């Protein structure tokens, strides 16, 4: 640690005994995101060990970013000044059985909360491919799972508590705060330090998961809506080669944990005879149980198991949301690029998400299909390819995932988010001097608003 940094850390510790220098992620030297493709701009990482101290800490900083579980691939979370982690603040604060809501401290990861929620008899409506991510970070970036009737994870948010730049605590709710609330939920980390989130819950449910192999592209073309509507959550994986989708993952809700035998064939695809990883060559050890074995919602909705490395690890990711009405055309447009894409690709995933009304959500007022790319970790090659894919998808007005890699210009972002100027105004209201802004936000939001 540099001497200057060390002194700063010590003086901060003395001033804020409940905010401590946090070193667990700072491997020997550098602080990076989860995938290791991004070295953050500072190692000044402080951990809040009590809610009460967050306000004080925020008030005293001139610039900072709150870091979640570091699963974003781009610099949306980056800072050159300091980071605040709420990782130690991960308790369930309250569960309201009548209102069917749970309030959680904002450092919690889904994987920490879900088993406890299930024990109380409740569930979330959906989860992303991995349970390792922080709830606040996931909701702030419009993170999603799949399902034609399922909104992204932020659509479960019914209340939000955050510390604004002044150090004041702000509480917003779906019920009382209308447009302000709708502007704040997918907040890109720009409004303040989220300290608590209240989420809708529903009675716990069980699910079973079946995987099918080799769905012909023509079947997808002719039956896309039927395919993606055939289960509660459907994911299509492809390497774009051989005119087929390599794997189809169907996650179905079951009645009282009863297992239902699935047909051997699904639109020309064959039911798998063992658990599979989305990248078929990799071991399925880190994947959730398939083969129709019933299990709790939180062990079937994600593809990857808590306690294991999700996905491949050393990778990059990009993803584009396209209006679902254009799904087939958009998928075929990408498929035409297959020979440029595949050499750099580990796997692609296609999912669906229901529309919502959050200003900065990529599903704002449109049912969406997402086309996702897990890339080999070769940024120069991927950076050269992204504009080609974005050009091909341009007729469908693609919105990139806020937490993944894209080359979409700020002007294009501005054109696809009608509420972007209002969002920038909302940020200025809670953070007039740009305490929570960084280069990513300045470039993609404030420069065009």
Q: How far is the CB of 373 from ligand FAD (least distance, A)?
A: 12
Is there binding between residue 65 and ligand FAD (CB under 6 A)?
A: yes
Pick from 187, 190, 239: nearest CA to 213: 239
- The reply to whether 86 sits near ligand FAD by the rule CB under 6 A is yes
* Binding-site member from 129, 150, 154, 158 for ligand FAD (CB under 6 A): 129
Under rule CB under 6 A, which residues in 294-313 are in contact with ligand FAD?
A: 310-311
List phi, psi (to 5°) of 366.
-150, 130
Find tokens 């080799």 and name the residue. Answer: 214
Residue nearer to ligand FAD on the CB measure, 141 or 348:
141
For 155, half-sphere exposure in the C-beta direction (CA atoms, 13 angstrom radius) is 21
Cβ proximity to ligand FAD, 70 vs 435, nearer residue: 70
Q: For the chain, how long is the longest CA-to-CA vector?
A: 66
Pick from 123, 163, 137, 181: which is nearest to 301 by CA? 123
Q: Which is nearer to ligand FAD, 25 or 212 (CB)?
A: 25
Q: Is 34 in the site for ligand FAD (CB under 6 A)?
A: yes
Site for ligand FAD contains 371 (CB under 6 A): no
Does residue number 182 form part of the binding site for ligand FAD (CB under 6 A)?
Answer: no
Residue from 67, 316, 350, 386 that binds ligand FAD (CB under 6 A)?
67
Judged by CB under 6 A, the residue of 64, 102, 136, 427 near ligand FAD is 136
Number of other CB atoms surrounding residue 434 within 10 Å: 16
Q: How far is CA 140 from CA 71, 389, 418, in A?
A: 12, 25, 18
Q: Is 362 in the site for ligand FAD (CB under 6 A)?
A: no
**Total count of residues recorded for the chain:** 449
In the set 44, 47, 69, 233, which binds ligand FAD (CB under 6 A)? 69
Q: Which stretch binds ligand FAD (CB under 6 A): 55-63, 137-145, 215-223, 386-394?
A: 137-145
Distance between CA atoms of residues 252 and 235, nearest Å: 12
The neighbouring-strand residues paired with 104 are 92, 197
Q: Does 361 bind ligand FAD (CB under 6 A)?
A: no
User: Residues 207 to 266: which contact ligand FAD by CB under 6 A?
Assistant: none
Yes or no: say if 80 and 41 are a contact pair by the CB < 8 Å rule: yes
**Footprint on residues 89-108 left by ligand FAD (CB under 6 A):** 106
Dump the DSSP string for 34-61. TTSS-B-S---EEEE-SHHHHHHHHHH-
Contact with ligand FAD (CB under 6 A) among 133, 217, 279, 334: 133
Handedness of CA 279, 281, 282, 287 (dihedral sign): positive
Structure tokens at 418: 């009608």
Q: Which residues contribute to the site for ligand FAD (CB under 6 A)?
A: 34-35, 65-72, 76-77, 86, 106, 128-130, 133-134, 136-138, 140-141, 143-144, 188-189, 193-194, 310-311, 317, 401, 403
């Amino acid at each position: 640690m540099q001497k200057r940094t060390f002194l700063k850390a010590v003086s901060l510790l003395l001033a804020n005994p409940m905010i401590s220098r946090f070193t667990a992620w700072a491997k020997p030297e550098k602080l990076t995101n989860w995938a290791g493709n991004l070295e953050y701009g500072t190692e000044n990482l402080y951990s809040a060990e009590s809610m009460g101290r967050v306000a004080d800490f925020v008030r005293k900083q001139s610039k900072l970013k709150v870091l979640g579980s570091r699963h974003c691939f781009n610099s949306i979370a980056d800072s050159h000044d300091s980071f605040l982690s709420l990782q130690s603040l991960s308790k369930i604060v309250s569960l309201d059985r009548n209102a069917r809501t749970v309030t959680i401290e904002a450092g919690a990861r889904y994987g920490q909360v879900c088993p406890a929620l299930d024990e109380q008899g409740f569930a979330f409506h959906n989860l992303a491919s991995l349970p390792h991510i922080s709830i606040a970070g996931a909701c702030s970036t419009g993170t999603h799972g799949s399902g034609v009737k399922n909104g992204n994870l932020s659509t479960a948010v019914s209340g939000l508590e955050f510390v604004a730049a002044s150090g004041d605590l702000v509480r917003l709710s779906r019920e009382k705060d209308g447009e302000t609330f709708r502007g704040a939920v997918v907040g890109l980390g720009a409004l303040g330090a989220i300290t608590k989130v209240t989420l809708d819950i529903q009675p716990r449910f069980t699910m079973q998961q079946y995987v099918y192999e080799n769905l012909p592209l023509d079947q997808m073309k002719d039956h896309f809506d039927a395919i993606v509507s055939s289960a509660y959550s459907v994911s299509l994986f492809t390497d774009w080669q051989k005119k087929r989708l390599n794997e189809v993952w169907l996650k179905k809700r079951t009645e009282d944990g009863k297992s239902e035998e699935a047909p051997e064939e699904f639109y020309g695809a064959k039911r798998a005879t063992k658990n599979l990883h989305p990248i078929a060559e990799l071991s399925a050890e880190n994947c959730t149980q398939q083969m129709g074995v019933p299990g709790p919602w939180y062990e079937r909705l994600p593809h990857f198991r808590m306690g294991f490395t999700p996905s491949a690890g050393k990778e990059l990711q990009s993803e584009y949301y396209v209006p679902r009405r254009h799904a087939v055309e958009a998928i075929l447009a990408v498929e035409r690029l297959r020979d440029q894409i595949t050499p750099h690709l580990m796997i692609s995933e296609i999912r669906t998400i229901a529309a919502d009304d959050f200003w900065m959500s990529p599903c704002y007022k449109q049912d969406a299909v997402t086309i996702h790319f897990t890339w080999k970790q070769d940024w120069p090659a991927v950076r050269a390819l992204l504009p080609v894919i974005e050009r091909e998808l341009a007729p469908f007005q693609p919105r990139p995932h806020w937490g993944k890699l894209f080359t979409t210009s700020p002007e294009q972002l501005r054109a696809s988010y009608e509420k972007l100027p209002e969002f920038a105004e909302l940020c200025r209201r809670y953070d007039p001097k740009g305490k929570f802004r960084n280069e990513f936000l300045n470039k993609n939001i404030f420069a065009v608003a």
